[in-house]
Amino acid sequence: MASDLPVKQIRVPVTLWAGMIFDLRRRGKGRAESGAFLLGSRKGGIGKVSEYVCFDELDPNAYQMGAIEFHADGLAALWERCRTKKAQVLADVHTHPTSDVRQSHIDRRHPMIPVAGHTALIVPNFAHTSWWTLKAVGTYEYLGNLNWRTHDPSGPTRRVSLCLW
């Protein structure tokens, strides 16, 4: 479920992030993009991630073309999971084939969750990257109307940060 509360920062437990990175690496098999939604709760301006769910768990056909193609059935499954777990979608994550984590034209034109304030993360090299830092990860905030803000993953006002728990 999306929320009207603005999120200033999203915290992800490092062990959960590591598990997701390894999962995305395995699913992409070094030759295809893969992705996941980060789910959790919001309190004030802080989002706390408690789990992730990979796109192909929600939509078994999401990776059929080598690039991600997420279908309506997958979104329905996502919203059902959020209802059941009483969770919110805090961000989406997907991989790119190279170290370039800038948004592609497709990324900019097709936000996974087209709600202002949603965060999208891009992981380089089909997730063959460090799992204990976000320095190589592209971080983008959706502003609405197909406009995005880029966030510095290592800046003093990080939008997404790793935490111990």
Residue 156 has pLDDT above 80, yes or no: no
Q: What distance, in Å, lies between the first and last C-alpha atoms of the chain? A: 23
pLDDT tens-place string over residues 121-146: 999 999 999 999 999 999 999 999 99
Q: Please tell me the pTM assigned to this model.
A: 0.94
Q: What does the pLDDT look like over 2-56, one tens digit per residue?
A: 545 568 899 999 999 999 999 999 999 989 999 999 999 999 889 999 999 999 9
Tell me if residue 161 falls in helix, strand or coil: strand
Domains of the chain: 9-163 (3.40.140.10)
Which tokens is 58 given? 């929600």
d(CA 15, CA 43): 21
pLDDT at 8: 87
Largest separation between any pair of C-alpha atoms in the chain: 39
Residue 108 has pLDDT above 70, yes or no: yes
Which residue in this structure is represented by tokens 């976000």? 134
